[in-house]
Amino acid sequence: MISLSGPRRSLWGGARRRKRMSQQPQRPVPKHVLSRRGAISFSSSSSLFGAPDPRQLSERRGAISYDSSDQTALYIRMLGACVIFKQLFSRDVRVRSRVGFEPERRGSHPYLPIDFRILHSQPEPAGPASARKIRRLLSFQRYLHSSRSCRGSAPQNPLHILDHDYTGQAKCMLERVGSWNFDIFLFDRLTNGNSLINLTFHLFNQYGLIELFQLDMVKLHRFLVMVQEDYHQQNPYHNAVHAADVTQAMYCYLREPKLSKSLTSCDILLGLLAAATHDLDHPGVNQPFLIKTNHYLAALYRNTSVLENHHWRSAVGLLRESGLFSHLPTEDGLNMERQLGSLILATDISRQNEYLLKFREHLDKEDLCLGNAGHRHFVLQMALKCADICNPCRPWELSKQWSEKVTQEFFHQGDVEKKHKLEVSPLCDSQTNSVGKIQIGFMTYVVEPLFAEWARFSDTRLTQTMLGYLGLNKAGWSGLLQEQAGAGEGTGTAAPAEDTNSKVLPQGSEES
């Protein structure tokens, strides 16, 4: 049961009033930024621009406010977007990938000349620069067509004929979007690389969020396209497919009995939004890398939840740029942004113990009351954390692909570190690590403790299924490591980490 709140009324009446955005800027914002639809007027700037230091971000870890440094982050976000827009119209995507946030890279923060935007870049495909963007638009039109067809209305665009089969199959998959075995890789192929847009739009539609919050369909579409575009498709792991996967997992958790009967529409909207945007503009390297290379984001966020802060500020930038919530009362919009931040910041894996201890304490005391908005928010944080690291709880065929992708990203970082004579980060050295070793450590020290507590909170068929896969996948990797060790002893060389025996692992039992 979803409780409803009219979007015209205040959704969060008791919210603290925050500093307004209309204060006089210390650093003028370029006119071309301000003149754009959804542009933000910024109140201040950070030390990166020579202004007085904002208060230490580390002192307000987890707390959210719109002070000067927040505004700077948004400013950076908008400048990046500006470059992107210009290039979109000039049809020069090569410039986009090399410019990135270049305007912010000057100043007193020397750092390694690595362009994170091209860190995992592939050779550019032939053809017009805007071809992929056009494909995305067409694909969305096809999606709208398929929705109309379902409702029996006449199609308005004959383009759907071109890939009717794929659209039909993708639509079929969405009918089972609550299945834990949902194959997001297949869905991404069937939607022509638009899994995040299509999945999120479908879930918004299914929950009736568009009507409930009177969302403008064009703005929602534009927002989702921008979100998907802001993920780096070159990243082996932290890309839009991962975001779509986390959103699908989040949906599975939102449907769990304890949550579905207590969450409000606002909770659901925030949960889905946070899942879709939680790794926005991820550079494909981790926080220690940003710190040791003196990246401007590390300086901006005082080495604290650097990536998560950036994901959140990027999401806020896109919300404002698209004007998705511009019809809501200002205070509600700001509250939405703050809650979104609180959810995204919870995905910082270095703060895992903090959240786990709090969760354990609540479960020991049995005092979680989902009628309480604060408690519901905490449960959403835990659900998002689970969704973010649920790869080892998926069926082997899916889990294995994710394991290989994340390892590829780690090793790529390690290679860059070696190339620039930096200390190689833990798990990033391909000489001393393997997919299996990394996975077993990750499952043992990170995933199992979290899902053990989640099982105490929500002991359902889905949870048992996840724990079942977790155990089987761990056994699968252990078996492979032993096999490789045996083969290595026999031949005197290391065995390749391929050809896994999936027969010993679950083969797609249903959970929906």
**Catalytic residue list:** 238
> Among residues 230 and 279, whose Cβ is nearest to Zn ion?
279
Q: Are 173 and 182 in contact (CB under 8 A)?
A: yes
Nearest approach, Cβ of 208 to Zn ion (angstroms)? 27
Which of 308, 310, 304, 285 shows the shortest CA–CA distance to 424?
A: 285
Nearest approach, Cβ of 460 to Zn ion (angstroms)? 23
> Among residues 286 and 473, whose Cβ is nearest to Zn ion?
286
Task: Kindly provide the b/e burial profile for residues 152-175, where b requires at least 16 CB atoms within 10 angstroms of the residue's own CB.
Answer: eeeeeeeebeebeeebebbbebbe
Interface with Zn ion: number of residues (CB under 5 A): 2
Q: CA–CA separation, 141 vs 155, rounded Å?
A: 10
Q: CA–CA separation, 510 vs 512, rounded Å?
A: 6
Count the alpha carbons within 13 Å of 409 in the hemisphere toward its beta carbon.
21
List the interface residues with Zn ion, window 379-398 (CB under 5 A).
Answer: 388
- Token reading at 249: 């997992």
Nearest approach, Cβ of 200 to Zn ion (angstroms)? 15
Q: What does the longest C-alpha to C-alpha distance in the chain come to? A: 72
> Among residues 143 and 231, whose Cβ is nearest to Zn ion?
231
> Among residues 349 and 475, whose Cβ is nearest to Zn ion?
349
Phi, psi of 434 (to 5 degrees): -145, 165
Q: Are 501 and 478 in contact (CB under 8 A)?
A: no
Nearest approach, Cβ of 389 to Zn ion (angstroms)? 8
Q: CA–CA separation, 144 vs 137, rounded Å?
A: 11
Q: CA–CA separation, 119 vs 121, rounded Å?
A: 6
Q: Which amino acid is at 173?
A: M
Nearest approach, Cβ of 244 to Zn ion (angstroms)? 11
Q: Which amino acid is at 56?
A: Q
Residue 251 is given by DSSP the state H
> Among residues 238 and 338, whose Cβ is nearest to Zn ion?
238
Phi, psi of 125 (to 5 degrees): -70, 155
> Among residues 75 and 301, whose Cβ is nearest to Zn ion?
301
Helix crossing, 461-491 with 448-457: angle to 10°? 160
> Among residues 237 and 477, whose Cβ is nearest to Zn ion?
237
SS3 3: strand
Q: Answer yes or no whether residue 308 interacts with Zn ion by CB under 5 A.
A: no
Give the residue nearest to Zn ion (CB). 279
Q: One symbol per residue from 253 to 292: x for binding Zn ion (CB under 5 A), - otherwise; what is it?
A: --------------------------x-------------
Which of 442, 499, 452, 496 shows the shortest CA–CA distance to 474?
A: 442
Q: Are 284 and 412 in contact (CB under 8 A)?
A: yes
- Residues at the binding site for AMP are 238-242, 279, 388, 439
| Residue 259 Cα distances to 262, 376, 380, angstroms | 5, 8, 9
- Residues at the binding site are 238-242, 278-279, 388, 439
Nearest approach, Cβ of 325 to Zn ion (angstroms)? 23
Nearest approach, Cβ of 408 to Zn ion (angstroms)? 15
Q: Please give the torsion angle defined by the CA atoms of residues 298, 302, 306 and 308, in that order, rounded to the nearest 10 degrees.
A: -160
Q: Which amino acid is at 418?
A: K
Residue 58 class from Cβ within 10 Å (0-12 exposed, 13-18 middle, 19+ buried)?
exposed
> Among residues 48 and 246, whose Cβ is nearest to Zn ion?
246
- The residues binding Zn ion (CB under 5 A) are 279, 388
